[in-house]
Structure 1
Amino acid sequence: MEVREAVPADADAIRHVHVESITELGREAYAQEQVDAWAAGCRSADYTASIEADDSVFVVAEDDGDVAGFASLEYDTPDGDGTDAVAEITGVYVHPAVARRGVGSKLYAALERRARGWGAETLELSASLNAVPFYESLGYERVGRYSHEFSSHESTGVEGDVVEMRTEL
C-alpha cells in the first residue's frame, strides 16, 4: 500500500471510492435515505479542482495500481491575531473492501505530517457518526454535534448529525 499525492487522473477512481465508502460504511450510522443523499453529492463533486487547489493536500492510497482510499486537508493561515494555525481534515475515505486494515490510518498520517510541515497547531474536522471511533482512536476529542444537510449540491433537505472534532498537534 502506497500513499501518494493525488493527480487529476485519479478523479474518477476517487469518486468511485467515495461512493462505495458512503454507501457501504455510512449505513453503520445513518438511514438509507441519508446515505443515498450523501452519496448523491459525489456525482457533482469536482475532485480535480480539489486535487489542484493550492491551499489543500489531496492524497490517495494505492494498492496494486488501484485507488483504495483518499484523504484531503485544507490549511488556514493565521491572520496575525494570535490565533493558532489550524488545518482541517476535509475527508478520509477508504473502499469498504479494505476498511479496518490500516488504510485510513496511513492516509491520516500523511495529512498530519503535511499539517505539521505547514506549522498547524490544531487539526479540526467534522466526522460522520460512523467515523467518530476512528478519529477518537487518533486522539481527537468531540467538540460539538450539529445537523448537516447531505448532498448540499442538490438541496435534498435530507439531514443527519455529524460531530465536530479536534486535536492539538
Structure 2
Amino acid sequence: MALTSRPATRDDLDLLKAIMEPAIAELLKGFLDAEQIRSSEAIMGLDTQLIDDGTYFVIEVDGVPAGCGGWSRRATLYGGDHSTTRDEKLLDPATDPAKVRAMYTHPEFTRRGVGRMILGLCERAAAAEGFTRLELMATLAGEPLYRSYGFVEVERVEDARGGVPVPIVRMRKTIVTS
C-alpha cells in the first residue's frame, strides 16, 4: 500500500466532496445521532481559501483518493466556505498556533495512516513558516487520532449552527522539530 500526497487544486473540488460527504455521514455514526450528523454537515466543510493558499492536501492510497486535509496561517479554526465565522486575518507565528483544518478520510481508507500523513504534512509545513504550535477543532470521531498524535484537549464546546448542538473539542499541540 503506497500513500502519496499532493497539494489540492480547485479542479479537485468534486473529488474532495466525494471524500468529505461519506466521511461525515459514516464516520460520525457511533458518536452522534442522525440529527447531529445532519447538523455536522452544515457546520463542516472545505474552506477553499486553504486550496488558494496552497496548504490543503489530497492523500491517495495506491493512486486512489483516500483523504484530504490541511492547515492554515489564517485565524479561522473550522468551517467551510459557507461559514459566517470565517476570519481571513493572518496569524503571527511567534504568538499564534497554526490551524489544522478540514481533515477527512474516506470510510474505505480508515486506519491506514491517511490522517497521520496529513498531520505530519501540516506540522512540517507550519514549522517551516515559523509556527511552534498547532490548534484544531476535533469531531468526537477524530479525537482519538489527534490525541495519539500528541494533541491535548483545551475545551469541549457545542456548535448548534447546523440546527442541533454538535459536541466538538478544541485541541492544541506543540510542534516538534527534529
Query: For this structure pair, what is the TM-score category when the shorter chain's length is used for normalisation?
Result: 0.7 to 0.9
For the pair 1:139 / 2:145, whether they are aligned, the reply is: no
Structure 1, gaps ≥5 residues long: none
In the alignment, which residue of structure 2 is the partner of 1:60? 58
**What is the deviation of 1:102?**
0.8
Q: What CA deviation, in whole Å up to 9, does each residue of 1:52-83 have, x standing for no partner?
A: 1x3x610010234332100121114329xxx5
In terms of fraction of residues, the more helix-rich structure is: 1
Match of 2:71 among 67, 73, 91: 73
For the pair 1:115 / 2:121, whether they are aligned, the reply is: no
Q: Provide closer, same or farther for how the CA distance between residues 77 and 161 of structure 1 changes in structure 2, counting only shifts above 3 A.
A: same
In the alignment, which residue of structure 2 is the partner of 1:158? 164
- Tell me if structure 2 keeps the 8 A contact 1:148–1:161: yes
- Tell me if structure 2 keeps the 8 A contact 1:60–1:67: yes
Match of 1:26 among 8, 28, 31: 28
- Tell me if structure 1 keeps the 8 A contact 2:151–2:173: yes
Alpha-carbon distance in structure 1 between the residues aligned to 2:30 and 2:46: 26
In terms of fraction of residues, the more strand-rich structure is: 1
Percent sequence identity is 31
**What is the deviation of 1:8?**
1.3
Q: Which amino acid aligns with 2:57?
A: V
TM-score by length of 1: 0.84
- Tell me if structure 2 keeps the 8 A contact 1:11–1:47: no
- Give the root-mean-square deviation of aligned CA atoms: 2.0
In the alignment, which residue of structure 2 is the partner of 1:91? 102
**What is the deviation of 1:3?**
0.9
List aligned pairs for 1:1-20, cutoff 5 A: 1-20=3-22
In the alignment, which residue of structure 1 is the partner of 2:37? 35
Alpha-carbon distance in structure 2 between the residues aligned to 1:91 and 1:118: 20
**What is the deviation of 1:49?**
4.4
Q: What CA deviation, in whole Å up to 9, does each residue of 1:115-144 have, x standing for no partner?
A: 111111110011011111110000111010
